[in-house]
Structure 1
Amino acid sequence: MARQQSIRKNFLVQLLISSASLILIFSSLLYFYIEKSIYDEKRDELIHYAQNISNYKSIYDLGELPDNFLSLSVEVISLTTPLEQIDVYEKTIEQQTFLTLIYPFDIQNNVYLKLIKDITPTKRLLKKILNYIFIINIAGFLLVILYAVALSKMLAAPIRKLSQDLSNMNEHLMKPIQMDEIPQEFAPLAGTINHLIARIQTFVKYQKELFIGTAHELKTPLAVIKLKNQVTLIKKRPPEEYIEAIKTTNKTVDEMNIIVSNILNIGRQEGAQLDKPQQVDIIDLLQQKANDFKLLAENEGKTLEISFTPNVFMATIQVGLLNQIVQNFLQNALKFTPPDKKVILRSVQDDFGLLIEVIDEGCGIDESVDLYAPFKRQGNKSGVGLGLFLAKSAADALGAKISLKNREDGVDGTIASLQLNSQLSCIIPRK
């Protein structure tokens, strides 16, 4: 089993490593700067002494001697190999550190001044400075640890609150997360969770309505079958009446089979939501559907007109879900459109993506009711009332939007729309 990663732990480790590196680099640069400044000062001091001696002046040209003047030793030496430049080096003898300067005095005779200065107090001072910097670094690192722990807790608090709010929810008690209690950085996450909660609430609501509606729809034909059989069995009847009763029973059973088939379609649709998306040409799929329904429309004395733009619209979707939505739109449009009338199937590109519309010349809809609830029927046509419920579920699974509204061009009828998101698609011009 893969080990789960902790964002907070990773944050703490990265913050501590970066802070320790920053403190170490800054402290090292500070110490080296202090050390170089002090050594440069001592070197310049020795050069100043050597220049005064070389110019036959007083070693120290001020009015009084410095405190560390006695730590200075001056010698005149001869070198077999002449020096090209001033030589300064450090040497430690018996825990004492000396800074030595070789300075030209008489270059023609290879005579040089050798100035030796005891810088042991300076080394001790530098050591104290290094110790102080080390102590300050430890204290600063401890403060960074405390700050990192406090900051990580503060950053993790909204996640913990979201987790607590979600853990206290169930299908019977679901409420959206209060956005004003969430930091601005977590607002998109909270908004996504609220959208998911709304979808779950809608799903649970429709599932409850589906169970209740299914029980009611199956109970009525069963009651009809039982009553018809009871009436038939009250007294002996001619064979024709028994045959008629059996026909009525069979008809009722067929109606029940239709209900069961539609309920099975819901299960198939949930399985289709798990199908692997395919890259297809939406316009080509619409053309195939139009060809199938043109024959059905002509058989019913109706006309199916098509208008597709653009010529090609590639998308990565579950084809079965898209077919179910378009098929439901066309079936409803042809069902409610009278003979000698027309149904329009068209597609247009907009800012959101591809808009697919099915426009009929039927009786229109009641926009004040929830048309997507299971077993909701419109008009006086037969049907179970699960088509739009399935279409809405399929659209949600595709990340698309569907809508139903009455026509506003002076003609009775309905416009069923499917809006596909262009983020999962791209337009390829046809050559």
Structure 2
Amino acid sequence: MSRQQSIRKNFLFQLLISSASLIFIFSSLLYFYIEKSIYDEKKDELIHYAQNISNYKAVYDFGELPDNFLSLSIEVISLVSDTEHIEVYEKTENKKTYLTLIYPFDSKNDVYLKLIKDISPTKHLLKKILNYIFIINIVGFLLVILYAITLSKMLVTPIKQLSHDLANMNEHLMRPIQMDEIPQEFAPLARTINHLIARIQNFVKYQKELFIGTAHELKTPLAVIKLKNQVTLIKKRSVEEYIEAINTTNKTVDEMNIIVSNILNIGRQEGAQLDKPQQVDVISFLKQKANDFKLLAENEGKTLEINFTPDVFMATLQVGLLNQIIQNFLQNALKFTPEDKKVILQSSQDDFGLLIEVIDEGCGIDESVDLFAPFKRQGNKSGVGLGLFLAKSAADALGARINLTNRDDGIDGTRACLQINSQLSCILPQK
């Protein structure tokens, strides 16, 4: 059974270990520095006394004797040594500590000065300093513990708030997270959650419309089939009339099959959203789709004009979802564009990322209608009304933006736009 890890406990443990190590290292360096400074001072003091004696001066050449001057012992000793050197060492006797200096006095005759100073008060002072540092370390470590606990609570608070907000949501009450109430470190997480909430809201909204629309779309042809069959059974008819009635029924069944096929496409698209994203050159993909639809446009007496910039745009995404969007845009554009007119497929870069546009010369749209809802149709062309619904779902899964507007250049027609976020893409230099 796997054991769950606690970020807060790990943070507290690492912070306490690092703080304790830092306090120990800093205190040790401070103590050793104080100890060395005091010992250097005592050593310099003994050397000063020895130099005064060697120069046949007074041991202490100031107006008043220092308080600890009486703790100084001076001897003249003989040592056999090949070099002149100053030796300083420390020793402890009878619970007292002495600092001894051996200083050359008459090197020709191997005569040295031996100065001994009682530094027990100094050792006692150092012990007091060490105790104070130890107490300060304990107090400081306790303060670090309190600070770490407070800081960890403060860091976990936004996560708890997010969890609380999400726990109180359901399909009937879903609100986006307020970004101004979230620390900037958690802003990417909040944006991701808001994106998911928006997708769930659209899913719930459109799924309800899909179920209602499916029931309505299937109910009408079923009623037609039943009525035709009832009329046919009322009286005996000729073979030709029976054939005509059966053909009408088959035509209605075909329309129902189209509806069912489109509904199955919705299920296939939801499966495509789980496909592993691939790195693809979007511009190369658009050129391939343009070549496919150019032939279809020429057969219908229409022109497909292309204009792609930049030359290369690498993105990591599900190619099947991108294909579904572009194919729907081009199919609708060619469907509503009259003969001898043109459809434009173009791309450009903007602040969001890569902007892909399909512009036609059709009848335009009613911008007050949500054309991305299931079974929404516009114009005088036949269709089930699920194409744009599938395109919208695919765009949401890609984290892209999709939009339909009328042309604003004085020409009748529709502009279908898809914006791929550059934060999920890698833009290569232009060739």
| TM-score normalised by the chain length of structure 1 | 0.91
1:19 is displaced (CA, Å) by 1.7
- Say whether 1:257 aligns with 2:257: yes
Q: Paired residue for 2:196?
A: 196
**CA apart distance, 1:61:** 4.2
Alpha-carbon displacement from aligned partner over 1:108-158 (angstroms, at most 9, x marks no partner): 211111111222222122112212211211111111111111111111111
Question: CA offset at residue 371 of structure 1?
Answer: 1.2
Return closer, same or farther for 1:227/1:15 CA change in 2, 3 Å cut-off: same
Q: Please name the residue that 1:358 is paired with.
A: 358
8 Å Cα contact 2:92/2:98 also seen in 1: yes
Tell me how far 1:191 sits from its aligned partner: 3.1
Partner deviation per Cα, 1:173-213 (whole Å, 9 max, x = no partner):
21122334323443343233223212221121111111111
Match of 1:413 in 2: 413
Counterpart residue type for residue 33 of structure 1? Y
Cross-structure match for 1:381: 381
Which amino acid in the other structure matches residue 7 of structure 2? I
| Cα separation, 2, equivalents of 1:312 and 1:68 | 86
Counterpart check, 1:426 vs 2:427: yes
The residue matched to 2:108 in structure 1 has which SS? coil
Alpha-carbon distance between aligned partners in 2 of 1:49 and 1:344, rounded to the nearest angstrom: 100
1:371 matched to which residue of 2?
A: 371
Alignment of 1:309-324 (within 5 A): 309-324=309-324
Structure 1 residues 130 and 263, CA, compared in 2 at 3 Å: closer, same or farther? same
Aligned equivalent of 1:225: 225
Q: Which deviates the most, 256-265 or 317-326? A: 317-326
Once the 2 structures are TM-superposed, how far is the Cα of residue 243 of structure 1 from its aligned partner?
2.6
Structure 1 unaligned segments of length 5 or more: list them. none
Overall identity of the aligned pairs, in %: 85
| Range with greater deviation from structure 2 (42-51 or 116-125) | 42-51
Superposed CA offset, 1:330-362 (max 9, x none): 211122122333323333445544433222221
CA distance in 1: counterparts of 2:310 and 2:106, whole angstroms: 96
- Partner Cα distance (1:61, 1:280) in 2: 90
Following superposition, the deviation at residue 55 of structure 1 comes to: 4.0
Q: Residue type of the partner of 1:412?
A: D
Question: What residue is the counterpart of 1:301 in the other structure?
Answer: 301
Partner residue in 1 for 2:144: 144
- Cα 1:93–1:426 change in 2 (3 A) is same
Moved more, 397-406 or 421-430: 421-430
Match of 1:331 in 2: 331
Between the aligned partners of 2:179 and 2:295, the Cα distance in structure 1 is 53
CA distance in 1, matches of 2:429, 2:185: 37
Q: Does 1:10 align with 2:10?
A: yes
**1:5, 1:170 → 2: CA distance?**
28
Aligned 1:181-192 pairs, distance under 5 A = 181-192=181-192
Give the Cα–Cα distance (whole angstroms) in 2 for the partners of residues 235 and 109 of structure 1: 152
User: What per-residue deviation string (whole Å, max 9, x for no partner) do you get for residues 377-409 of structure 1?
Assistant: 011211110001111111222233222111222
Q: In the alignment, which residue of structure 2 is the partner of 1:35? A: 35
Q: Is the 8 A contact 1:314 1:428 kept in 2?
A: no
Q: Which letter maps to 1:208?
A: K
| Secondary structure of the structure 2 residue equivalent to 1:108 | helix
Pair 41,388 (structure 1): closer, same or farther in 2 beyond 3 Å: same
Between the aligned partners of 1:312 and 1:59, the Cα distance in structure 2 is: 89
Higher mean C-alpha displacement, 128-137 vs 180-189? 180-189
CA distance in 1, matches of 2:347, 2:74: 101
Q: Which amino acid aligns with 1:147?
A: Y
Distance in 1 (CA, whole Å) between partners of 2:120 and 2:326 is 93
- Partners of 2:356 and 2:178 in 1: CA distance: 36
Structure 1 residue 91 corresponds to structure 2 residue 88 = no
Counterpart of 1:340 in structure 2 is 340
Change in Cα spacing, 1:7 to 1:310, as seen in structure 2 (3 Å) is same
SS at match of 1:276: coil
Which residue identity does 2:28 align to in structure 1? S
Residues 12-35 of structure 1, C-alpha deviations (whole Å, 9 max, x = no match): 223222222221222122212221
Q: What's the secondary structure of 2:240's corresponding residue?
A: helix
Task: Give, in whole Å, the separation in 2 of the partners of 1:147 and 1:353.
Answer: 43
2:205 partner amino acid: K
5 Å-filtered alignment, 1:64-79, equals 65-79=65-79
- Paired residue secondary structure (1:304): strand
Whether 1:125 aligns to 2:150 is no
Deviates more, 1:239-248 or 1:116-125: 239-248
CA–CA distance in structure 1, aligned partners of residues 362 and 282 of structure 2 = 26
Q: How large is the RMSD of aligned CA atoms in angstroms? A: 2.5
The 3-state SS of whatever aligns with 2:114 is: strand
> Measured at CA, do residues 245 and 16 of structure 1 come closer, stay the same or move farther in structure 2, by a change above 3 Å?
same
Residue 71 (structure 1) shift: 2.8
Q: Is the 8 A contact 1:72 1:118 kept in 2?
A: yes
SS of the equivalent of 1:270 reads helix
Q: Structure 2 CA distance, aligned partners of 1:323 and 1:190?
A: 30
Change (3 A) 1:355 1:136: closer
Give the Cα separation in 2 of the matches to 1:128 and 1:421: 66
Give the conservation status (yes or no) of the 8 Å contact 2:84–2:104: no
Write the distance in 2 (CA, Å) between the matches of 1:56 and 1:312. 92
- 1:340 aligns to what SS in structure 2? coil
| CA pair 129-315 structure 1, distance change in 2 beyond 3 A | closer
5+ residue gaps, structure 2, are none
The size of the alignment, in residue pairs, is: 430
